[in-house]
Amino acid sequence: MTRYRFGNGEYKYFPYSPPEIFQSLRESFYPELEKTANRWLGYFFHYLALSSLKSNN
């Protein structure tokens, strides 16, 4: 970490299996987050396509 000037410290990780409440929340939120991420990705690629068309003219 010091090499990248983030300071001295240790990596801290959570235990592999989260408590059941966190696991169930993650599983219930994931489908909606996936839809949102895919929609944003579509907007991003649409924006890139339009930008490249404008720059070619």
Question: Structural domain of residue 40, as residue ranges?
Answer: 33-57
Residue 2 lies in a domain: no
Q: Look at residue 28 and tell me if it is in a domain.
A: no
Residue 18, Ramachandran bin (φ over 0: left; ψ between -120 and 50: alpha; else beta):
beta
Whole-number Å distance between alpha carbons of 12 and 46: 39
Q: What is the domain count for the chain?
A: 1
Contacts of residue 7, defined as CB under 8 A and 6 or more positions apart, other chains included, come to 1
Coil, strand or helix: which one is 8?
coil
In-domain check, residue 24: no
- How far is Cα 22 from Cα 10, in angstroms, rounded to an integer? 24
Per-residue pLDDT, 5: 67
- pLDDT for 27-46, tens place per residue? 999 999 999 999 999 999 88
CA 22 to chain centre: 18
On whether residue 52 sits in a domain, the answer given is yes
Q: Give pTM, 2 decimals.
A: 0.52
Residue 48 domain-assigned (yes or no): yes
